[in-house]
Amino acid sequence: MAGVSYRYEQVDFNVYPLIGYAISGEVTQNGLGLLHNEPAILSATLGARRFIKLSPRWYHAISVRAKIFSSPTVKFALLPLRKIKLNFIRTEKFNTIPIAIYINMFADAGYARSKYNNENNTLNNNILSGYGVGIDVVSYYNLVWRFEYAFTNIGKHGFFVHFSSPI
């Protein structure tokens, strides 16, 4: 694992800040994906904290932290990249069609916290997760057709078609 981190603080006391702010960021790479069964997971974390004096003896702190990472998708090349030649088209720029097909399994999870929970949104303040299987067809101009069947921890499931590459 390799990574880099940065932290900037402008606070009154590093160990127990009461006034000021702090900003932090980190980027980590776990594995390169070069070896068989080796993961290649890139993650980035960004955080901000603000410390405020409300009155002579009252203080308030707020913190926001977000983390994004490459999803734990596992892919198998059902059809490794091939080029199909259409001889009846004379222009070489257009007579070769690249195509690859991948089977994948994926999983994601997240949590959204809100103090403004209401009866219309039952997803707040709950762990949400999903998993599924899919087939990706990659062709011209980075065009990707994704066909997925996904399940969630709240009992929903369905078939989805996407025309873009997963993030």
In angstroms, the Cα distances linking 72 to 39, 76, 105, 108 are: 9, 13, 8, 7
Say whether pLDDT at 114 is over 90.
no
Q: Dig out the tokens for 165 from the structure.
A: 């590459």
Answer positive or negative: Cα dihedral of 156, 157, 163, 167. positive
Say whether pLDDT at 59 is over 80.
yes
pLDDT for the residue 109: 79
DSSP H stretches of helix in 22-130: none
Mean pLDDT score, 63-75: 78
> Could you tell me if residue 153 is left (phi over 0), alpha (psi between -120 and 50 degrees) or otherwise beta?
alpha
- The overall average pLDDT reported for the chain is 84
Answer positive or negative: Cα dihedral of 69, 73, 76, 80. negative
Mean pLDDT score, 102-131: 81
Say whether pLDDT at 6 is over 90.
yes
Mean pLDDT score, 49-74: 85
Say whether pLDDT at 34 is over 70.
no
> What span, in angstroms and rounded, lies between the C-alpha atoms of 114 and 116?
5
In angstroms, the Cα distances linking 116 to 49, 56, 63 are: 21, 29, 17
Mean pLDDT score, 87-98: 84
Q: Dig out the tokens for 98 from the structure.
A: 């690249």
Mean pLDDT score, 56-67: 88
Choose from 6-10, 40-44, 109-113, 122-126 the range with maximum mean pLDDT. Answer: 6-10
